[in-house]
Structure 1
Amino acid sequence: MRSKIVLASLPFVSLASFAAENQDPTDLFSLSFEQLLSLEVDIAARKSESWLTASGTVYVIDHEEIKRYGWRDMKEILAAIPNMDMFYQWSWLPGGQRGFTGNMAATLLLVDGRQVQNLLANEAFIMNNFPAHRIERVEILQGPNSTLYGGNAAQGVINIVTRLPQLKSPVEDGPAEQIAEIGGLVGEVGTWQGNMLLSGGEGLWRYGISGSWFQSDLDYDELKSFVFDDDRFSRNPTLDRVRDHDPNRFRNDEQNITLDARLAYDQYYLGVDLTRTENVSGIERVAVDFITGDDSKRGFSLVYAGRHFQPSEYLTGFAEVSYFNEYKEKLRQKVSGLANANSYDDLFVFSEREDIGPSERYRFRTQFQYQSDPSADWIVGYDYWHTDIGSKIAYVDIGTGIEKRIPSSWPVDKEKSDKHALYAQYAKRWSLEDGATFNLTAGLRYNQQDYTDSAWLPRISLVYGPDDRSAWKLTYGEAFRPPTIFEFDGVEDTELDSQTVQMWELNHSRAWHWQHLKFTNVTALYQMKVENFYRKVFDTQTGRWLTEVEGEQEVHGIENLLRLQNERWQGFWGLRYVSPDESQVGDEMAVLDIPRSKIKLGISYEFNEHWQLSAFIDHWAKTYTQANSLSGTSQIIETIPAWTTVNLNLNSINWQLGGGQRLDIGFYVENLLDKTYYHSNPRGSSPFQFIQAPRNVRVQFSLNF
């Protein structure tokens, strides 16, 4: 029988899953203090280790916590992490970790430990394509770890563990846990979702399949008003004078389909992850008419097969091959006659289609773990992957027909690339006097790939545990982000240096109890330095674009994560303070796009075995961001005011129906006080901010057979 995964921490504590055969997964308050101390995490070192002695700062959010708090998808789950910065622009989710922002290219996104970063821009592409029903838990590693995970793990790693059978070792003979579930939700602005999950097995067989369909218009009245506000939204005099302000033509709909499937027999396994998305690209780059964004279709498919090995009780490993395919289609509006137009009706508007891909990645990876003695082990691995990125193709209306073009700036010679990596990690534990312990984890990776420099990437963590309830951790890590094909687009550079990250982190973790109260607390103090930012500049002498690799930025910060349990109560409190370098805009200097402080507070109360009420308070400090001036002739710094929102979830669980089914129903209210608030745009100056969701209500349900 597969063990249930129970998270004793709330989303902000370095705790991981706890396997307890007889533990009721809905009774999160029944963990003893000893069980609380023994919880394990494996994302930091690719092996199970106690949360107290884990080599780094990791946050884990469990499926039962997600159900308790009513979070619908990854966007809402990640918003619970106080040192994740996200900027929802009504399509995908730009952002970053620990004071860095951008397109999520420096955060590595994994599904069941397999990379699903998009191939075009190396982005962790999170939309409405990760619904909560498919998630067993989410593990978030703070800070760089390219030693184990390679490129793009520069700011951290997000691993989504699905609810399908996990295949970390050969299948144990016997019956598997049987899961049969359907669910869905209905919300405002035409929002609805349906999902299903089947999982089980017998003997040496295991299987699982889950799927979902999401659809929403995303056309709140407040969003329409914002898009048509020239002062708050556009600030582009050339285009503002010919804008069409008809709100009836506003369109922002999105559809998402997901499918996960897995089959295993003994030590062999086969699986697939699939996502298909159609949307209009949000409000970051609204088309020329400023009514609708680009029509976009994109998706990925990941197919993998592998085998586990266990030559002896001291040596285990796996070998796996995978194929990753993605594509992107975009239909966007173009205009001619802009210079002489006085209104939108004077423009000639036509559509242009742009395709990139399909792009492909073939990958082979293998890893072995050898336990040389009960207190020491080695991890050794090898990665190889070949990537073939499809050309950017534009279908242009030339009057006499549609012409297919590959833009002359597109770097066709950079479409194919190969990468190789070897890595090793050694871990050793010493027992000291009076029950104290000392742990060492040290790793090194050699990474080689086309069109950029090779890299040696070390990571080392020292952990001192004065007792079995607390630990001091000192971690140093390095990481890199290689250039993407877009950073070669339009330039002559044959090779670019990778962006690099260095981090020092001091972490203090502690658990204690007082009467019926149980506490865990994690404090992390860190310094991160990034070098080699990519910036495109136009060379007026040659008339060509060049990519400059220059500059550095340092961020210092502290995060504190506290949780508690007390009979029917459960709560958490997370905060962060960051101090990044300032940027210059005109004559002004400011920290841009980052709220220096953030606070997340949650509290949950069980009225009885069926009813739970949870409330959450989010607070962001004021933020400065770069914007166009109202005249459009210069760049200025605008202030995005501080904001505080309250969300509420009323959960009715474990209702037994006549046929033995179990029904859960949740009523979720987002932005309870109907606060108007904004996120900055870290990727541009027009629009310089994105309005967020007004008060809205949704109803969600889950039926287990």
Structure 2
Amino acid sequence: MNYKHYFISLFLSGAIIAQEKPQSTQDTKPTQTPAENLTQSEKVQAESPPKNETLPSETHFITASRSERAPETLAANVTIIGPEKIARSNARNVAELVKYEAGVDVKKKLNTPSSYRIDVRGFGEVASANTLVLVDGRKINMPDLSGMNLDTIPLNRVERVEIYRGGRSVLYGDNATGGVINIITRKESQNSNTLTLSAEVGSYEYYRLGASLEGFAEDLYYAFDSSFTESDGYHDNSGYRTKTLGFSVLSTEFENLELSISGGKSKSHFDIPGARNGKRDSASYDGYYGDLTEEYISITPKYWITDKVDLELQMNYREAEFDYTYPAAWGPSPDTYTSEDISLSPKLTIRDRWNGVNNTFVVGMDHRYSKMEDYGPDKSRRSTGGYIYNTSAFLDDTLFLDLGYRRESVRMNLNNGEDYDTNNLDAFSAGLTYKYADESKVFISYDRSFRTQRVDELGGAWVWPTPPNEELDPQITKTWQSGVQHRFNDQWLGALTLFYIDTQNEIFYDSTVGFGENYSYGETTRTGAELALDFQATEALSLYVNYTYMDAELGEDSPSNDANDGNTVPGVAEQFANFGFSWDFIESWNLNMNAHWNDDQYAESDYANNSDKQDSFITVDARVTYTWNWLSVYGGVNNLFDEEYNEFTATYGEYTAPERNFVTGFVITHEF
């Protein structure tokens, strides 16, 4: 089947249907003529949402174009999780928050916050290198293959989470092949200072204490937060302990200039249980552990050159030290590795009306340097990329054309000698969106994205003590997607997206070869559909359901002499679905419930598809919240019906999920 022709036909048929529906009058932002005595930044505020005010979570999306856009103007399936949904969820971190969204699969291997794997559109065990995660636009994906410690981002500081499904290397470079998740922290407009205290306890001797202080002092917004989390874990030898401290400052004191500074530090200790060994809560390892310390700082000045032109420079620095003990087969024990990551990202944005057409033009550059030191050869990675991106709005801002291009150079280096591997890569993006009514659109888009090897991801078999020493071809991923989102009435909102992903040289890890091997597979394909429905039954009751179908296949040119061609990509479920509701059943009382169904799937690294599949499962989580003025009290239960299931299964063992478990806590908010 020619999928490109199929998607074009879908788009055209959707457009015809849309033309048959009566169009509502679209609200367009009027161009205001500021008074002559206004400062430049005041002129900008007159044309765009005022600085320091929370953007309405229902009407603005930043991630797709690195500028503010209404979701119905974007040529992609996007989702915004707003503050109300965050407050009522059972989630302890962002990974648990996004796991009920269409096209997003979340797994947790160990009982540690850094062992979550967020998989957008079926990349399986290498999802962490194919799903880009941002905090206020700052990349938090590690330069190596270690997981992201999402527990260092307190949910009470998160304003909203944006999910973009599809490749986005044009704007963000490496890692953005499956999708992008942007965590946006709160920058409130209130003049009062707010102190928030929280406490939470639960099963497996879990408890968490948190505190945050935020507010305004004249032209300065500030926020400080800290937390302490500890748990013995469900499995033997699976306890963890995390301490975090963070801050952010936003200054608008200077004319035409906004300065944002944020930073933080976290310390984590976690035991390493290994796979199941006998009972469901047992572990194959005893006494192994890791200690991780991370620090980061981000500085972002933004200068308004005119009321239509602004220049932004984001500067980030991160360093980490990981002390660990592992089984002898994994390397010397104990040992330490350190990593550091530096990035600079200047960006110029021009908003103007050219030849009667509203345009937003973005041009920028991203430079990133990453270095890792461990028991093997020191490794470093440099990437420098430039991009241009333009959005044009036609037909009274109902038809949107997006075009983008990036050129990036990636250099790998061993032992600070000559370049080990250099790649010059191109990314393209094109999208067409027709917004035919409020919250309604049809779209079609194409993205060419890429990913390169991590600093600890050299190719070849690992034969101790000699580490892998082969360069890996860069992975090129082409994504076609088309869909429709339709607002039926005040109660019903529906969306359907079809996508086809073709990947050349997909970088995999095969644990069945020696002690493991990284290699570039010839071709893989993913064909899928995402369906979502939201229903506002009454003012007090809202429901949702979503369904994802995913056919992920290994294609031709396999390194195993084509033996696996046509097999299913391991670690990817063909289907999964979510259902839930939020019900204000009594004044000040809310019941929030979410159910997740996951189809059976092949164990990770089972590229031959010759082992038993991991069984399908259904889990249900529920939470009751009581809110009264400055106090919020809640109680929740996860895995309500005590389902026995494996959240993660690999060829080398099973990692069983917790049984029914409970959590309760409170949040106190005081304004002064």
**TM-score interval for Structure 1 and Structure 2 normalised by the shorter chain:** 0.7 to 0.9
Shift of 1:317: 2.0
- The answer as to whether partners of 1:141 and 1:156 remain within 8 angstroms in 2 is yes
Cα distance in 2 for residues equivalent to 1:298 and 1:563: 41
- Residue in 2 that maps onto 1:352: 333
- The answer as to whether partners of 1:487 and 1:534 remain within 8 angstroms in 2 is no
* 2:195 aligned partner, one-letter code: A
* Coordinate RMSD, CA, aligned: 3.2
Pair 590,332 (structure 1): closer, same or farther in 2 beyond 3 Å = closer
Shift of 1:102: 1.5
Q: Secondary structure at the match of 1:637?
A: coil
Residue 530 of structure 2 corresponds to residue 559 of structure 1: yes
Matches within 5 A, 1:79-98: 79-90=99-110, 91=112, 92-98=115-121
Pair 281,131 (structure 1): closer, same or farther in 2 beyond 3 Å = farther
Matches within 5 A, 1:115-154: 115-121=139-145, 125-126=148-149, 128-154=151-177
Shift of 1:537: 9.5
- Residue in 1 that maps onto 2:20: none
Pair 498,282 (structure 1): closer, same or farther in 2 beyond 3 Å = farther
Residue 435 of structure 2, aligned match among 465, 485, 508? 465
Cα distance in 1 for residues equivalent to 2:480 and 2:565: 33
Residue 609 of structure 2 corresponds to residue 619 of structure 1: no
Residue 399 of structure 2 corresponds to residue 438 of structure 1: yes
For residues 571-610 of structure 1, the C-alpha deviation after alignment (integer angstroms, 9 at most, x for no partner) is: 1111111111159989995553222111100012112331
Cα distance in 1 for residues equivalent to 2:391 and 2:593: 41
For residues 427-454 of structure 1, the C-alpha deviation after alignment (integer angstroms, 9 at most, x for no partner) is: 101116xxx8211011111111212311
Residue 135 of structure 2 corresponds to residue 111 of structure 1: yes
Pair 469,271 (structure 1): closer, same or farther in 2 beyond 3 Å = closer
- The answer as to whether partners of 1:452 and 1:497 remain within 8 angstroms in 2 is no
Cα distance in 1 for residues equivalent to 2:142 and 2:384: 19
Matches within 5 A, 1:120-519: 120-121=144-145, 125-126=148-149, 128-163=151-186, 165=187, 176-219=191-234, 223=235, 250-266=236-252, 267-284=258-275, 290-292=284-286, 294-334=288-328, 352-357=333-338, 359-373=339-353, 375-390=358-373, 392-393=374-375, 410-412=376-378, 415-431=379-395, 437-450=398-411, 451-488=421-458, 490-493=467-470, 495-513=471-489, 517-519=490-492
Shift of 1:80: 1.2
Cα distance in 2 for residues equivalent to 1:422 and 1:334: 43
Residue 553 of structure 2, aligned match among 574, 577, 581? 581
Task: Point out where structure 1 has 5 or more consecutive residues left out of the alignment.
Answer: 1-18, 26-34, 167-173, 224-249, 336-349, 394-409, 629-633, 657-661
For residues 543-587 of structure 1, the C-alpha deviation after alignment (integer angstroms, 9 at most, x for no partner) is: 999964331110000001111222110111111111111599899
User: Identity over aligned residues, as a percent?
Assistant: 20
Pair 535,380 (structure 1): closer, same or farther in 2 beyond 3 Å = closer
Cα distance in 1 for residues equivalent to 2:451 and 2:371: 18
* 2:447 aligned partner, one-letter code: G
- The answer as to whether partners of 1:118 and 1:124 remain within 8 angstroms in 2 is yes
Cα distance in 2 for residues equivalent to 1:567 and 1:53: 27
* 1:309 aligned partner, one-letter code: Y
Residue 610 of structure 1, aligned match among 588, 599, 602? 588
- Residue in 1 that maps onto 2:655: 690
Q: How many residues align?
A: 578
Cα distance in 2 for residues equivalent to 1:218 and 1:639: 26
Pair 428,119 (structure 1): closer, same or farther in 2 beyond 3 Å = same
- Residue in 1 that maps onto 2:633: 665
TM superposition score normalised by structure 1: 0.76
Shift of 1:361: 2.0
Shift of 1:704: 0.3
Pair 606,531 (structure 1): closer, same or farther in 2 beyond 3 Å = same
- Residue in 2 that maps onto 1:229: none
Residue 662 of structure 2 corresponds to residue 701 of structure 1: no
* 1:648 aligned partner, one-letter code: A
Cα distance in 1 for residues equivalent to 2:400 and 2:409: 30
Residue 645 of structure 1, aligned match among 619, 632, 637? 619
For residues 271-294 of structure 1, the C-alpha deviation after alignment (integer angstroms, 9 at most, x for no partner) is: 2033322112343499x9924263
Q: Secondary structure at the match of 1:76?
A: helix
- The answer as to whether partners of 2:104 and 2:119 remain within 8 angstroms in 1 is yes
* 1:283 aligned partner, one-letter code: G
- Residue in 2 that maps onto 1:521: 494
Residue 62 of structure 1, aligned match among 82, 102, 112? 82
Q: Secondary structure at the match of 1:607?
A: strand
Cα distance in 2 for residues equivalent to 1:73 and 1:626: 25
For residues 628-687 of structure 1, the C-alpha deviation after alignment (integer angstroms, 9 at most, x for no partner) is: 9xxxxx99411222211221111111x23xxxxx10011101111111111243xx4110
- The answer as to whether partners of 2:526 and 2:552 remain within 8 angstroms in 1 is yes
Cα distance in 2 for residues equivalent to 1:507 and 1:293: 51
For residues 410-430 of structure 1, the C-alpha deviation after alignment (integer angstroms, 9 at most, x for no partner) is: 343xx2332211111111011
Pair 63,558 (structure 1): closer, same or farther in 2 beyond 3 Å = same
- Residue in 2 that maps onto 1:402: none
Cα distance in 2 for residues equivalent to 1:639 and 1:333: 27
Q: Secondary structure at the match of 1:453?
A: strand
TM superposition score normalised by structure 2: 0.80
